[in-house]
Structure 1
Amino acid sequence: MSRSVLLEQPGRYRLVKGEVPTPGPGEVLVRVAAAGICGSDRELYEGGRPEEYCTFPIVPGHEWSGTIEEVGPGVDPALVGRPTVGEGFVSCQVCERCRAGEGNLCLAGYDEIGFTRPGAFADHLIVPARLLHPLQAGTDLRAAVLLEPAAVAAAAVLQAAPLPGERVGVVGAGTLGLLTIQLLAASSPAELVVSDPRAGREPVARAGGATRYFHPDELGELDLDVVVETAGARDSAAASTRLLRRGGRLVLTGIPGVVPEMLSPSTIVERQLTVFSVFGAPSAAWAHAVRAFTAGLLDLGPLVTHEFALEEYADAVALLGQGGDDVGKIILKP
């Protein structure tokens, strides 16, 4: 038997039991080791996620790690027993964006594990084999669950293209921000400035490579070469532009849940800022994150602060909503 959390509609779910699913052609069956909960999972539970980005009923869970238990027709049987993580966007592979390597921007429409097809808040998960990123034997799967947000952080850092010796900054010290700090630190910056209102996040940020840590109200103008915005707060994008030197580079990853302050076109043009954005992560960013993790450049385990059983799904979502300095990555463990 296999258990899963079935979210029938916002705020209403039940734990269901059924037969272990069988992988079809080109698919694998993964035994889930851990599944992370992020802000988008909370939006799904509370009914705040846009209709075009979700389907009900749904088994949530797009951040996961596990072990391949069975492969379907056409999949290499040598994969059985391998620890793995996997991408969430299920792209068409034939449109212009997919052919350009941007499956996260697939023109066939949005389709993501945990939002439009069954996700990882379950004992087992069916995944297209082409989305897998197999890991080395003995990998810490509790830590590896963070490779999905790490891939998003990697996408942002690849866009920013920091050079050794540049002055860089991160706005927001949530999970995504802390992962971005570690990846930016690997580029040997002259300075790595972090802005977040939560003083309790400073030790983790500094452990990841931050050299200065400020409350947003204390920052002022810093003339940084690169800023990666991860907070998704109301005014964080506009505030990020004020930290950049003329000709600096800004990467936006956060999606504000409220009407944001507008970025000033005059500011962008007059200061000749380059603005990038990130929506999820393409395969190249996933590969980059997995390589960094395997090489020991990403220390993911300490970012996991709370573990819950599948039966405690609602409690886990509630804790995420409460936040707090001591609440990092929350995971469900089957």
Structure 2
Amino acid sequence: MSADAASLTSRSIVVGRPGSHRLIRRPLPEPGPGEVRLRVAAAGICMSDRELYDGRRAPGYVRYPVVPGHEWSGTVEAAGAGVSTALIGRKAVAEGFRACGVCARCRHGETSLCTGGYAETGFTEPGAFADHVVVPARLLHLLDDAADLRAAALLEPAAVVAGAVTAGAPVPGERIAVVGAGTLGLLAVQLLRASSPAALVAVDPRAARVEQAVSYGATQGLAPAEAAELAASESLFDLVVETAGAPDTAHDACLLARRGGRVVLTGMFAEGARGIDPVHLSLSQLTVRSVFGASSSAWADAVRAFGLGLLEPAGLITHEFPLERYEAAVALVGSGDPAVGKVLLRP
């Protein structure tokens, strides 16, 4: 294929059914009214993408065949009818939820709770494991011209964390624990350090991860057993942000919080996860919040923090693959290899 012909086409990974994918080439997608087309710079792979590929994503939250990819960054290449051409050439990220904007929850600003029906880029709508992605222009969040697009691919999980931090409402001088030092946990440490906590403790069984958390601003890193011993000594936390989604972490996070404390759950839990003890919950008068995805305001907070240098996602990236090696890339995610951090596809 000639270079001119290739420029009029776009490659994408299509998962036709669980465990089956193809790299295909199609005509360059054209944005419709209100839409923009972006050239994808980088796209992150998370456990939700692995679940999609393995067929373990909950029914109703995926539509096969699908082009995955909900964590990404890129540059606007084309604008559809009704969209300003001034966007062309701008670096950007975009919200994943295709919120309706008119239901009661959307009008209240809670776009991640939209009741208009679930639709999300990379799960029910074509995503960014591709050369190009088309999204509604209203979902764009523009970046500085000098922004590192490789690092910006992590702004989707950063937006989830920004929503969790807002829900947790940290106050300067408080004691804070982050349970889990994966991508979400390390991003949470970076955002929470800006609240000037008296203590910011990262809890994870992987020594290398808690060391990385300390390098990002945690005052201490503990294994789960050490954290439990600390809690037993009544050295408890005002705020606990759970990010791991492991079978016991929701339950354990509540045991780390002081009486009257706050717990925010951001991990994606599987069936059979250990529940929160209702007796402990009521006697301790805990406030427990959960976060699923990110609202528009959380995205704006994450992009602002990134622009100010409060978020430094690049250090979380450990592996990068071309589209042709998608299968190898997705296999790394959830493999249990402690050397695997954030995995990127680079079209």
**TM-superposed deviation, 1:258:** 3.6
Q: Does the aligned pair in 2 maintain the 1:235–1:261 contact within 8 Å?
A: yes
Per mean C-alpha deviation after superposition, the further-off stretch among 157-166 and 200-209 is: 200-209
Q: Does the aligned pair in 2 maintain the 1:165–1:189 contact within 8 Å?
A: yes
Where does residue 252 of structure 1 map in the other structure? 265
Q: Aligned pair 1:238/2:251, yes or no?
A: yes
Per mean C-alpha deviation after superposition, the further-off stretch among 93-102 and 250-259 is: 250-259
Where does residue 3 of structure 2 map in the other structure? none
Q: Does the aligned pair in 2 maintain the 1:170–1:227 contact within 8 Å?
A: yes
Q: Does the aligned pair in 1 maintain the 2:240–2:263 contact within 8 Å?
A: yes
**TM-superposed deviation, 1:176:** 0.5
Q: Aligned pair 1:93/2:101, yes or no?
A: yes
TM-score (norm 2): 0.95
Q: Could you give the per-residue CA deviations for residues 76-106 of structure 1, whole angstroms, max 9, x where no partner exists?
A: 1111000000000001111101101111111
Per mean C-alpha deviation after superposition, the further-off stretch among 252-261 and 6-15 is: 252-261
Q: Where does structure 2 lack aligned partners over 5 or more consecutive residues?
A: 1-8
Q: Where does structure 1 lack aligned partners over 5 or more consecutive residues?
A: none
**TM-superposed deviation, 1:202:** 2.2
- The CA RMSD over aligned residues, in Å, is 0.8
**TM-superposed deviation, 1:29:** 0.4
Supply the distance in 2 between the matched residues of 1:290 and 1:152 (Cα, whole angstroms).
12
**TM-superposed deviation, 1:5:** 0.2
Query: SS state of the match for residue 53, structure 1?
Result: coil
Alignment of 1:216-231 (within 5 A): 216-220=224-228, 221=231, 222-231=235-244
Query: SS state of the match for residue 100, structure 2?
Result: coil
Supply the distance in 1 between the matched residues of 2:275 and 2:243 (Cα, whole angstroms).
17
Where does residue 10 of structure 2 map in the other structure? 2
**TM-superposed deviation, 1:40:** 0.2
One of 276, 287, 290 as aligned partner of 1:263: 276
Where does residue 126 of structure 1 map in the other structure? 134
Q: Aligned pair 1:81/2:94, yes or no?
A: no
Supply the distance in 1 between the matched residues of 2:342 and 2:330 (Cα, whole angstroms).
11
Q: Could you give the per-residue CA deviations for residues 121-155 of structure 1, whole angstroms, max 9, x where no partner exists?
A: 00000010000001010210000000000000000
TM-score (norm 1): 0.99
Q: Does the aligned pair in 2 maintain the 1:253–1:279 contact within 8 Å?
A: yes
Query: SS state of the match for residue 333, structure 2?
Result: helix
Percent identity over the alignment is 59
**TM-superposed deviation, 1:279:** 0.7
Q: Does the aligned pair in 1 maintain the 2:67–2:127 contact within 8 Å?
A: yes
Q: Does the aligned pair in 1 maintain the 2:211–2:221 contact within 8 Å?
A: no
Where does residue 170 of structure 1 map in the other structure? 178
Supply the distance in 2 between the matched residues of 1:101 and 1:284 (Cα, whole angstroms).
8
Alignment of 1:1-334 (within 5 A): 1-220=9-228, 221=231, 222-334=235-347
Query: SS state of the match for residue 331, structure 2?
Result: helix
**TM-superposed deviation, 1:204:** 1.5
Q: Does the aligned pair in 1 maintain the 2:29–2:37 contact within 8 Å?
A: yes
Supply the distance in 1 between the matched residues of 2:100 and 2:142 (Cα, whole angstroms).
22
- Read off the aligned partner of 2:17 and give its amino acid letter: Q
